[in-house]
Amino acid sequence: MSPLDTSLLILRVVAGITFMAHGVNHARNIEGTGRWFAKVGFRSAPMQARLSVLVELGAGVLLVVGLLTQLAAAGLVATMVVAGLAVHRFNGFFVFRPGEGFEYVNVLGWVGFVLAWLGAGKYSIDNLIGLVWPGTVGLLFGVGGIVAGIGQLLIFWRKPSPT
């Protein structure tokens, strides 16, 4: 067993389960999630909430099984960029600060970036079907996740005024 491939498997599964759990939490109260999206400044908040759940659940499952891993990792990156810039950066670094700081989304976002860059590794469906592009193409998936997150913010988010 290769230490790198085993590490990628562990990283994928942990990140995927974490991302899915977040999606399940949002899905349990989709109307409340939509209201929260509106509160933090998103236009089309109900749609944003549903898309968030779709990405969190879908990409989470894909990461766990190692299918379309680099695309799923880009979705993780994009989601963490959006969460980090729209909400958590205003609350400092530490997640235990009021309003939750950005440490959690920072770590999860970089995990996604690394998975996008390196791919799923040997222990994945991607490897079985030859769908792994480590290196420059993988790096582009990671950068694409950042660009997608920033694009979503530019189109749909406005910092809410203090109340």
* Residues 127-142, mean pLDDT to the nearest whole number: 93
**CB distance 56 to 22 below 8 Å:** yes
> What pLDDT was estimated at residue 99?
82
- What pLDDT, in 10s, does the model give residues 18-29? 999 999 999 999
> What pLDDT was estimated at residue 150?
98
> What pLDDT was estimated at residue 115?
97
* Residues 7-32, mean pLDDT to the nearest whole number: 97
- What pLDDT, in 10s, does the model give residues 110-134? 999 999 999 999 999 999 999 988 8
Is the pLDDT reported for residue 70 higher than 80? yes
Average pLDDT, the chain: 95
At residue 163 the predicted structure's pLDDT band, cuts being 50, 70 and 90, is low
Is the pLDDT reported for residue 161 higher than 80? no
Query: Is the whole model's pTM more than 0.85, yes or no?
Result: yes
> What pLDDT was estimated at residue 83?
96
Name the nearest CA neighbour of 69 among 115, 129, 111: 115
Three-state SS string over the chain comes to CCHHHHHHHHHHHHHHHHHHHHHHHHHHCHHHHHHHHHHCCECCHHHHHHHHHHHHHHHHHHHHHCCCHHHHHHHHHHHHHHHHHHCHHHHCCCCCCCCCCCHHHHHHHHHHHHHHHHCCCCCCHHHHHCCCCCCHHHHHHHHHHHHHHHHHHHHHECCCCCC
